[in-house]
Amino acid sequence: MRNKILIVGGVAGGASAAARLRRLDENAEIIMFERDEYISFANCGLPYYIGETIKERDKLLVQTPQAMKARFNIDVRNNSDVKSIDVKSKKISVHSKSKGSYEESYDYLILSPGAKALKPPIPGINSNKIFTLRNIPDTDSIKAYVDRNETRTAVVIGGGYVGVEMAENLKEKGLKVTLVEAAPHILAPFDSDMVVMAEKELVENGVELILNDGVKAFNEVENQVAVSLNSETKLHADIIILAIGVAPDTAFLKDSGLDFGPRGHLIVNDKMQTNIQNIYAVGDAIEVVDYITKQKTAIPLAGPANKQGRIAADNICGINSTYKGTQGTAIIKVFDLTAASTGANERTLQRFNIPYKVIYIHPVSHASYYPGAMPMSLKLIFDDKGKILGAQGIGYDGVDKRIDVIATAIRYNGTIDDLTELELCYAPPYSSAKDPVNMAGFVAQNVLAGRSHMAAFKDIHDHEDKDTILLDVRTISEFNNGHIHGAVNMPVDSLRDRLNELDKSKTIVEYCQVGLRGYIADRILSQNGFKVVNVTGGYRTSSILDFNPKKPSDASEINKEENAGRITIDPDTQAVKKN
């Protein structure tokens, strides 16, 4: 029997399903419907074409209708908008640019409608100077507008992946760029103690960054758009990029009988099946299971969408394939910096009351004695049994492969012990004999074994001054070049000879530059009867967290004076301060 399979939507999920179906079944009739002209394109490359890192527009086009027909014998109908489905008669209603309105029957239906850019009802949001970026026509419109000589300033609303990438690329094009984010920090998958490095990179490359401030209204003033923020700040720009998120594009399915999640995502099982027989759904329009928390969520990423399309095709063709959840592995370029993450962050774990521990390390990308070694910061999150829950990495080289290794370990339910045992590539130009992934495992292993008494900066704010000694165990020159206010300097190499200078009745909160010497100091002090807290990540983490794109207000300076004599957390940067 020849199956007739309709696919609604192309790009990642739909196109992957179509190609897989043909490879598995040469006889099936496969028809793909795409609302726009382009059936499969590189979404993630769009900002880089606007910024002209990608020079040729055709490079963005992954597949064309002609190529899909020639290689896979797939009937691709672009400029064809699917308006509704009738699950009882197993038909869809289509409005085509060339054929008008008609119906098409199916044996199986794969829904891959994707997501659309959010446009909340903000006054003035429909200005023709305000753009969103989701597809090739959006890209063409933005690029044409940006390439005009009179386009010199831009405001990007939203600090997610698309917003940050657009801010960078517009800056590279020579525009003056302001990035506005309503949340306290950009790039939500990263915790605040890591993402500040990306924020610093943006500012250092000339992007004005405004955090914790949303848009109240847009208003066209002469040839520009005035942006009024909730703080009463006013910005003016020639072009506005709206990048505040996406919503599933599923409105045309509302009367179909399909089940939806609370935010309008299609509900599927692990075979990508909906609640209606012979109807599957994939991509940005579906609800998925978070691989770490096991909770329902939505994570719009190209990699998972491709895998889901393949799994739907497998099951239609009788292959028992299952989707085991999305862990949210993602990466972004921020000028010269790379930021990558996988698994859950602290906010997610706190929201679901999942206990966890955290360590930070600051290794270099390869052997320090080989030229070109670049610093990176890695954050590892795990539970008290050693299960890896998440990781974040930021640096200039080698970040991607470290997060990829940890992502692989997570996918196979790896533990901290597994990280220490991994045998990874080593030669001086590429890594160190103990790779940063191994080092993260060693540090976490010491925490779990009780050999290291670690705390993050945010966890030590309640230590009263009278009960605490803040100890800097770096060299005298390092201390003189910068230290946490109120710290006593006692280099680790002289620590054994100076133990009598420390009061055993007090808690020693000690730190070094990145954590290694702090661990040695911890071992010396704890084995000599001292109560010790080693601040994970060391002074480098503290100095990173001190970054704040906004100037401190008079009120914040007053608050610092009122809290003198305590170790506290700066409310904006989360940096530890001993006043």
The residues annotated with a catalytic role in the active site are 44
Distance CA 237, CA 335 (A): 22
Q: Give the full edge-to-edge strand order of the sheet including 531-535.
A: 454-455, 531-535, 507-511, 468-472, 488-489
Instruction: Compute the Cα dihedral for 166, 171, 177, 182 and give only its sign.
Output: positive
CA angle at 395 for the pair 392 and 400, rounded to the nearest 5°: 60
Please report the DSSP string for 266-306 in residue order.
EE--TTSB-SSTTEEE-GGGEEEEBTTT--EE----HHHHH
Q: At what angle do helices 192-204 and 538-545 cross, to 10 degrees?
A: 60
Phi, psi of 466 (to 5 degrees): -70, -20
- CA-closest candidate to residue 560, choices 487, 485, 509: 485
- What is the H or E stretch that residue 130 is in? strand 130-131
Residue 435: closest CA among 451, 422, 452, 417: 422
d(CA 26, CA 31): 13
Q: Which residue has the tokens 């000694």?
A: 469
Cα–Cα nearest to 307, from 483, 528, 112: 112
Do 291 and 2 meet the contact criterion of CB atoms below 8 Å apart?
Answer: no
Picking from 431, 453, 464, 448, the residue whose alpha carbon sits closest to that of residue 527 is: 453
Q: Which residues contact 77 (CB under 8 A, 6 or more apart)?
A: 31, 32, 33, 34, 65, 94, 96
Classify 224 as helix, strand or coil.
Answer: strand
User: What gap in Å lies between CA 131 and CA 148, rounded to an integer?
Assistant: 15
How many angstroms separate the CA atoms of 523 and 488, rounded?
19
Contact between 394 and 339 under an 8 Å Cβ cutoff? The reply is yes
Distance, in Å, from the CA atom of 275 to the CA atom of 530, rounded to the nearest integer, reads 61
The Cα-based distances of 85 to 8, 79, 93, 432, 446 in angstroms read: 11, 18, 6, 57, 58
Q: Where are the alpha helices (DSSP H) in 281-375?
A: 302-316, 346-351
Name, in order, each residue with C-beta under 8 angstroms of 528's C-beta and a sequence gap of 6 or more. Answer: 499
Outline where 117-160 has alpha helix (H): 136-146
